[in-house]
Amino acid sequence: MGSIRRAPKTNRWEARYRDPLGGQRTKTFDAKADAKAFLANVETSIARGTWREPGRSRAKFSRVAAEWLASNPTKRATTYARDATVIRTHLDPVLGDLPVNHVQPVQVQEVIDRMAGRALSPKTIRTDYGVLRAIFSWAVQTDIIDRSPCRGIRLPEMVRQARPVVSADDIEHLVATMPEEYRAAVLLGAIGLRQGEVFGLRVGAVDFLRRTLSVRATLNEVEGSFVEGAGKTQASRRTISVPERVLDELSAHLDRTARTDPEDLVFQASGGGPVRATNFRGRVYDPALRRAGLEGLSFHRLRHSAGHMLRELGVPLEVIQKRLGHSSIRTTADIYGSLPERVDRPVAEKLDEMFRYAQEAQSRGAGLSSGGADVVRDSDGEEAS
């Protein structure tokens, strides 16, 4: 229980209490009644488990966002860099100086509207909003605030657009325009590897005898530094069978570069060491796209093209999921669930064949049951005499 006493050498009143963490706290008031009311509220909040450390809920949003960012030390470096960029670019300019407990849904909506005004895609806006929502959820969980202001927020509608994909012919045309050093990289992207998985691939991960490839790690460039990780998810660490076409290109590539140590990176920069994705895109990949007439085909689109090619071959979604390293079959189904016409058309033809046989059997059965003679009926359906 707390206590009220007159503050020493003043005419003011002190409300004294011990917080749930065991600390002794004091707050001074001009009137004794105000001190009593405050103490009653404090004791009630402690009893209900809703007490908040004074001042913490009034911390600026920017500080709380920074604490949230640092609260998960196991977060992947690429994810950390993305979240930090979202906070710096889109959240802090609107919310940064506001006390976190003063942020209302209207300010959250302002963040969304500003991003929409910058012509960000609906998908990007939803991803960035996920960062904001996670910050406030963490603030609730850590007793900084009572309730998240992420309520009733209007997000831009997601309109699924047809994503451009390329055919095997397009891929071979692109491979022919690439420098020899990176031809195999394009083929690996075209069988479903992420760019970070391609540039993180080591010689020992390729088993030419079994004709398989093991995706064990990723190598990404984050704010100018290389970060090697274990993969995006557990499902992304996988072993897949590799077409002979790709194995032949990999074998020729390793012979040319004399990379035989199992720990050697399969693809390296011209001066040795890891490939910088920005340099690869600007100096190698984009010029090759222009030569091939495939401008706008990102490396990630190669991976999506792999999924569509597998679907056209009639490969089950579960197999596509494993090969692409999706953590959920739902992700695979959302992207590749619709059947290409090349796969779907033969299904309709088979159904037609089944119905045709059924119609013929029905006709033969009807003829036999009537004994081959016509039966004449009157207008009431009775047989005519």
In this prediction, residue 375 carries a pLDDT of: 45
Positive or negative torsion for Cα 272, 278, 282, 287? positive
In this prediction, residue 333 carries a pLDDT of: 81
Indicate if the pLDDT at residue 357 is higher than 90: no
> Residue 333 burial by CB count (10 A; 0-12/13-18/19+): exposed, middle or buried?
middle
Per-residue pLDDT tens over the stretch 280-304: 999 999 999 999 999 989 999 998 8
In this prediction, residue 343 carries a pLDDT of: 65
Per-residue pLDDT tens over the stretch 5-63: 998 888 899 989 888 777 888 889 999 999 999 899 888 888 877 777 766 778 899 99
Q: Which CATH architecture has domain 168-336?
A: Orthogonal Bundle (1.10)
Are 149 and 111 within 8 A, CB to CB? no
Mean pLDDT within 330-346: 73
Confidence of residue 329 (pLDDT cuts 50, 70, 90): confident
In this prediction, residue 368 carries a pLDDT of: 61
Indicate if the pLDDT at residue 147 is higher than 50: yes
pLDDT: which is higher, 141 or 135: 135
Q: Does domain 58-141 have CATH number 3.20.19.10?
A: no
CB atoms within 10 A of CB 125: 21
Gap between the terminal Cα atoms of the chain: 107
Are 104 and 112 within 8 A, CB to CB? no
In this prediction, residue 383 carries a pLDDT of: 46
How crowded is the C-beta side of 143, counted as CA atoms within 13 Å? Answer: 11
* Fold equal for 58-141 and 168-336: no
Per-residue pLDDT tens over the stretch 87-112: 999 999 999 999 999 999 999 999 99
Per-residue pLDDT tens over the stretch 56-83: 778 899 999 999 999 988 888 888 889 9
291's CB contacts (< 8 A; 6+ apart) are 177
User: Strand pairing of 212-215 and 238-241?
Assistant: antiparallel
As a whole number of angstroms, the distance between CA 198 and CA 300 comes to 11
As a whole number of angstroms, the distance between CA 153 and CA 303 comes to 33
User: Strand pairing of 13-18 and 225-229?
Assistant: unpaired
- The domain segmentation of the chain, as residue ranges, is 3-51, 58-141, 168-336
Per-residue pLDDT tens over the stretch 177-233: 999 999 999 999 999 999 999 999 999 999 999 999 999 888 888 777 888 877 667
Indicate if the pLDDT at residue 367 is higher than 80: no
As a whole number of angstroms, the distance between CA 6 and CA 374 comes to 115
Per-residue pLDDT tens over the stretch 232-270: 677 788 999 999 999 999 999 999 999 999 999 999 998
Confidence of residue 385 (pLDDT cuts 50, 70, 90): very low
Gyration radius of the chain over CA positions: 33
Confidence of residue 353 (pLDDT cuts 50, 70, 90): confident
The tokens describing 17, both together, are: 């209490």
172's CB contacts (< 8 A; 6+ apart) are none
In this prediction, residue 377 carries a pLDDT of: 47
In this prediction, residue 376 carries a pLDDT of: 45
Q: Which residue has the tokens 């960029």?
A: 85
In this prediction, residue 113 carries a pLDDT of: 96
